[in-house]
Structure formats: C-alpha cells, structure tokens
A and B are shown apart, each in its own frame.
Chain A
Amino acid sequence: MAPRTCALCESAKAMLKRPKTGQQICRDCFFYVFETEVHNTIVQSKLFQPGDRVAIGASGGKDSTVLACVMKTLNDRYNYGLDLFLLSIDEGITGYRDDSLETVKRNQQQYEMPLKILSYDELYGWTMDAIVSQVGRKNNCTFCGVFRRQALDRGAAMLHVDHIVTGHNADDIAETVLMNIMRGDIARLGRCTAICTQGEDTIRRSKPFKYAYEKEIVMYAYFKKLDYFSTECIYSPDAYRGHARVFLKELEAARPSAIIDIIHSGEAFEVREEVKATQRVQQTCIRCGYMSSNDLCKACTLLEGLERGMASAGITDRGRKQLESQGPAPDNLRTIPFFKLPLGNPTIAIESTS
C-alpha cells in the first residue's frame, strides 16, 4: 500500500493517526497542532499577563514533563514574557520520589528553568516515612493526600509566583465530570471544568492541557524523546473514579471526540442559582489561613493529631472526639506556617540552572 500523505500539510508522509481527530498526519504537523491548540487555550482564556511568574507543578510524570516542554516552547515562540519555574513536592518516602525527581532535575537543565523542590519535612515538619512510623501503613495515604493538596500552594507562595500551572489533561477532566455526576457532588461538578481556579486566598491555578488528550501527551513525549517517570496510583475497584475511568475509556474507543464532548457538556451547564444558595460557604482555617470548610482545615487537624500522639484525630470521628476530650491544643504545638498570598520578593532560595 502506498504511504499516505499527511492530511494537514498534504506533502509529508503521514506518521500517526491523531487520537483526537482520527486524522493521519505527519510528525511535524502533530507537534504544530498539539502546541497550537495549547496556545489557543492559553490565549482564549487569557491565562497569563506579560511578566507573570508561573510555577509549573512538576512531578516527573508524563503530563508535567510535557507541560514544561510545551510551556517553554510557547513562551519563546509567542513571547508570552513569563518567568517560568519548576516546583516539585518531595513527600519524603525513601525510594519512591527519587527517580521522578531526577527527571525533574533533568528538565531543569534542559529548559533552563529554576527548580524548587519542597519537602513535607520543610512544610509540615514531618516526612511521610516519619508519619508511617507513627500511624502505620493503613491510613498513611490520608496524610499524604491532604498534605499534597496544600503543598503546591504553599510552595508557590514561597516562590512568590502569580500562577501555578498543572498537567491535568482532557481525560482527567472528562473523568471528573462523570465521577461528580455519579456521586452527586454538585459543588465540584460546577467548577471541575473551569480552566482556572482562584479563591480569595489562594494562588491562581490553571490547566493549559485542559483539551489535550492523554494519548497525545504520551505521543508528544514519545516523538520528542522526553523521558518521564510513570507512577500509577492504584485505586480501589469500587471507587467512583475507577468506574468513571473504565467507562470513559470505552466511550473514547467508540468515538474519540467523547472526551472533548464531555468537557464541552461540563462547560455548557452550571449549578442552578437556587441550588448554589444552599451550598456551604468556603472559609479559611483559623490556625493556618488556608481555605477550609471548617474552622480548622484538614491538614491542621491531622498535624495536631500527629504532634499530640493521636494520629487518628483527623481520620475518624471517634479520634477527633478523643482529641477534643484532652482539652485545647497546647501553646507550644508545632503548626503549619500561616498561609499568605505572595507579596514582594521570594522568601526562599531556589536552585538556579547554572
């Protein structure tokens, strides 16, 4: 069979079938359309202003590795005028993050971007290894998940950046739409397709890969020969996300546009006004200033439990009651530093590329 010609440039030999459109195109056209679609997303959503300091949440996985590459390319190509940084979180698990952090360090050299690796130890005074030694393996993920959610914001505040970008892709977002419908989480459903989220007291956070297919991100990394570290999180088979993920893969196989179609659906509806009025108002933690649904945020509750030797305080109602029965927290309790939005110059040193 004669080689097919690229459906876009109509001159080069087609090298791949594009997962998003099914078109047979050449490698250079693939790079061009992939990067241009991300550029279109950035421009259309007015994500950045010239001079913005932008931290790329870098885990060393495929999404953030490709994001760093594309952000660097687009910043140079279209003169965005951004100061780009890499921001990684080290949970402090011996032998777990080492490989992926090496990938991030290579990105730092390759793209000449300053890198800050922020550890749980630095932020919370506890490594995950230390937490596991106290709570055991059963509930350690509770601590890791809650601490990680705050870590990027706190790291970004230390770097004095205006904006964090993360590698969430189209598959992640479509999956989240389905999951939130299935579990009736109307509050998250209303905001999960937003490209940019910013609370009053948090740093702007965006997803430039909102419309980029996971398969195309892998394809981009493959053709650009980017190396990344693959870490799969194994969810329980009975988790909502697990069901949503399996279903989404079937939909994508039936019609690839299903991923974009679901995101489009999520963007086309909103929570009804009378329902919004009944939703809980977001507040800030009285101890650390981070956003919270209660007086004390989950991270502060967990940390207090660790510090007072009652690790279950943040996990079960019984543990919390037990902690409360012991009286108020002592004055000398180690706490998370108060969260403040960045003003002025960075307060911490970052690793330069030289």
Chain B
Amino acid sequence: MKQSKWKPWLYLLPAFIFLGIFMVYPLIDVFVYSFEEGYNSASQTFFGTGPYNYRYVLRDPYFLQAVKNTFLIVVITVPVSTGLALLISVGLNSIKPLKELFQTIYFLPYVTNTLAVGLVFMILFQKTPYTDGFVNLIIKWFGGSSIDFIDGPYWAKMFVMCFYTIWVVMPFKVLILTSALASVNPVYYNAAKVDGTSKLRIFTRITLPMISPMLFYLIITGFIGAFKAYSDEVAIFGTDLNAAGMNTIVGYVYDMLYGDSGGYPSYAAAAAIILFAIVLTITCVNLLVSRKNTTYA
C-alpha cells in the first residue's frame, strides 16, 4: 500500500496547531510566568526571576482563605456525594417500577446551566427584608430560627456551597454507580443468598469489592473536580467571591488574571501551579490507595 509520507501529518495538522498554541505553549509559558517577578501585562515588563510570586501568593490572606474554602469543599462534598450516590444507586438498582423515570430525573442537573440554577438556589436560601426564603420557611416550620445563608455566617454559606456542589455532581456519580452495580452478575447474589448471607454482608463483601474500581474512579475524579471548584461558587455568591469570603483557588487565579483585582498573570500562574501540585499529589495518593484495594480480576 503506497502512502505519501506527509499525508498522515496533514490529517493531524489542524489538531496539532490548536493543541500547540492553546495547550503545549501555554503549559510551558505558565511556568515562565510564575517565575517572572513583577510582570506587568500592560507594559509587558518584569524586573527579575525567582520564587517571589510563590512567596507573595502563599502570604496573600485571600489565597489562604481560598485554600481553606477549597479544602473544606473537597473534604465535605467528595465523601458525602459519593456516599449519597452509592446509597441512591443501590436503591435504584433494587427497584423495577419507575426505575428509568428516577434515573432520568436524577440526571437532569447534569444538563443544566450551573450558573442559572445557582441563582435559583441563591433565592431558595437567601434571606432578604422582603422574605425569609423557602429554606428558612422550612427551618422555622421545624421550630428553628431563620438564617441568611447567602450573606450570613461562614458555616451557613459553606453549607449552601456544599449543598449546591453535591446537587451538581450527583448526576454523574449516580449514573456511573448505577451502571457499575447493574453490571455485577446476579449469579453472585444468588450464590450468596443460598449460603444465607445477610444483605449487609452481601453489600460489603461482594457488591463493594466488585464495584470498587468504579468507586475509586469516582473518588479520584471527584477530588480533582472539587479542587477546581469555581463556577458553582460564582453562581451562588456572585463574581466578587473575595468579598463574600467564599473564594476558591481557581477563583483566586482568575481574579488575579482579570477583573477589578486583575492584571497579575504571574501571581495567577504561581497560584495555578500550586493548585496543580496539590491536585497531582492527592491524585497520586488516591491511585496508590486504590491500587492496594482493588487487586482482583
């Protein structure tokens, strides 16, 4: 079969051009930026190279607040959403009537614009002079006192944040876990039933180990996703996340790049690389743990 030498490259050319300009070059460039001290995007000048940007970012209280917020979101939403998704998927797999309807409903948030629906969440949780909002109505109904979840205490804001994040990430997890559970061969359950295995033991000794690869996949992608939290925050608290005290690391990166506090791509680059390092470390730890725990088949 004769084939001219340059033809394959012609097919690859468009992809390579775009990837080169918008992925490979930026990847190198971001490291350069992060070591250029005092880079000014207007005059395109800088006055030296070194770790100054990192030092600046690590001492910036806004960054530290963002790190704290991000870690809280990660630590709360990843276990809660994975656990809840597991619970719901197990429930879904144990029923027959209405199963497909429930599955379709549960997937709905995946296709909605998170910015738009975030606005609805804000309204549900918000307390204004005109109304206490729907959530406070329920709280009062159960005998509690109303709280402003949007402009109120830190834990209340964090609660809304996590609640919304979980609402947004659930569809993907439920979908993956439901299909993982459905793919477990029912003959194992029959075998266990004949041996008188309790429901709980079937779940912990058979179901969980069998779906563990998918579970770890979800945990890893869940960690990565939660560390990159940003637009869900904007959806609830608006673009000025620093003012709300709810900024995240990614939010900090963008604020440094652009907007009222922007114009510092070097700081943004340093912050982004710190984030990348954190995510990489945690992913590696996750992979090591999962390798230890899913050694079958």
Tell me whether A and B are bound partners: no
> Could you list which residues of chain A lie within 8 angstroms of chain B, going by C-beta atoms?
none
> Could you list which residues of chain B lie within 8 angstroms of chain A, going by C-beta atoms?
none
